A = this chain, B = another copy of it.
């Protein structure tokens, strides 16, 4: 991809990440495709869809019940985006009434694992963040 654009990405760059590849498509570049992928998986509902499907295959309505507050529209949209990116697998059985199952592709399982780690981190640091917020708010009251 774009390793040759304006934003210094070459080897003579300042301190890069120790040990991590410095020669990839760059999320910092505004036009890099990795930004788009990242956006999809960490989107508001994308995170929760991936975390849900990590538990196993789910139907549309089950997914909707699992994820508190998601609208039918946003769930459908999120699933389509992730399906297109090869992260979620959609299997529709041609019966009436419709029966559609969603699961993770191998690629999706990788993403979901990372996303889950993040979600879990957030869950376990709620108290710390809340006390930080109190301190912050008090300091400017």
Q: Which residues of A contact B (CB under 8 A)?
A: 1-2, 4-5, 7, 9-12, 14-21, 24-35, 37-39, 41-42, 44, 47-48, 51-52, 54-56, 66-69, 83-87, 107, 110-111, 114-133, 135-137
Contacts and interface: CB of A to CB of B under 8 A. Distances in A.
Given A42-B118, A47-B42, A129 B30 contact: no
B55 A9 contact: no
A118 B119 contact: no
Q: Which 4 A-B pairs have the closest CB atoms?
A: A86-B132, A30-B69, A30-B68, A42-B42
B67 A20 contact: no
15 contacts: A7-B68, A9-B123, A15-B55, A17-B116, A24-B123, A27-B48, A27-B123, A33-B129, A84-B133, A84-B137, A107-B125, A110-B125, A111-B121, A114-B117, A117-B117
What number of copies of this chain does the assembly contain? 2
Nearest to A116: B17
A118 B41 contact: yes
A11 B33 CA distance: 36
A16 B114 CA distance: 13
Given A12-B124, A52-B28, A124-B12, A33 B117 contact: no
A111 B125 CA distance: 10
